[in-house]
Amino acid sequence: MSDKPDAGLHSAAPFVENLFVPEYYASEAAFFWAAPGVLTITFTSFRLDHAPGQGGRQKNAVVARLVMPISGAQGLATGLYDFLAKNSDMPVAKAVEPAPVAPPAEPKPDDAEPGSGEAAAPPPPVAPAAPKSETAENLFAPELFASEASFFTKAPETVSLTFSSYRFDQSLAGAGSRKRVVVARFVLPLNGAQGLATGLYEFLVKLGLDPVARPAEKQQWN
């Protein structure tokens, strides 16, 4: 299934497809950064580092950066958010219910009483929290510019985002007309796309750039 976000200039410029643009796979959108008029999204991919001494440690490797005008980033946040929410087979998770707490076990008649001389059983070991993946920075990763997110496409467990840039066709046939030309595609797992939608939306809100009124009930994903 494919869809496009509701951004204001879609009908104003013809769409020019390019099936051979670079396509990047990323596990998540790890960082957002704003500069005057534009916003940068850093995409990363989980990889195992098999270099000597690393022992196959999981790292979050920077694979690409995407630069968009603020209006394009706003369209991406709201468009992807709506696209995910309206696909019933991409369920929006319900509020997480707290895990039920088991009642304390009733003491058995033959349980040792305090002071009876028998040592109490040690508590079960607690598994340590999983360490956060280290970011493997790449200052030379490809950096692309896109005016907008033009289309979203769903496949089993992944979401593909098609980005385009406004360009003026100076050919004789184009006569300087503005067109939307596909420049790149990004493929993310479902949870990565969900994280991009909510993370970018929250980042824009913190900057005072919330593009639309917040839904009455904010949607969350696991």
Summarize pLDDT for 152-196 with one digit per residue, the tens: 999 989 999 999 999 988 887 767 788 999 999 999 999 999 999
For 57-86, write each residue's pLDDT tens digit. Answer: 899 999 999 999 999 999 999 999 999 988
Secondary structure element (H or E) that encloses residue 39, with its range? strand 38-49
CA distances from 112 to 104, 120, 125 (A): 16, 8, 22
The one-letter amino acid at 2: S
Looking at residue 193, what is its pLDDT? 95
For 97-115, write each residue's pLDDT tens digit. Answer: 344 555 555 555 555 555 5
The one-letter amino acid at 179: K
Q: What tokens were used for 160?
A: 């593909």
Higher pLDDT, 125 or 155: 155
Q: For the whole prediction, is pTM greater than 0.85?
A: no
Q: At what angle do helices 70-86 and 190-206 cross, to 10 degrees?
A: 130
pLDDT at 214 over 50: no
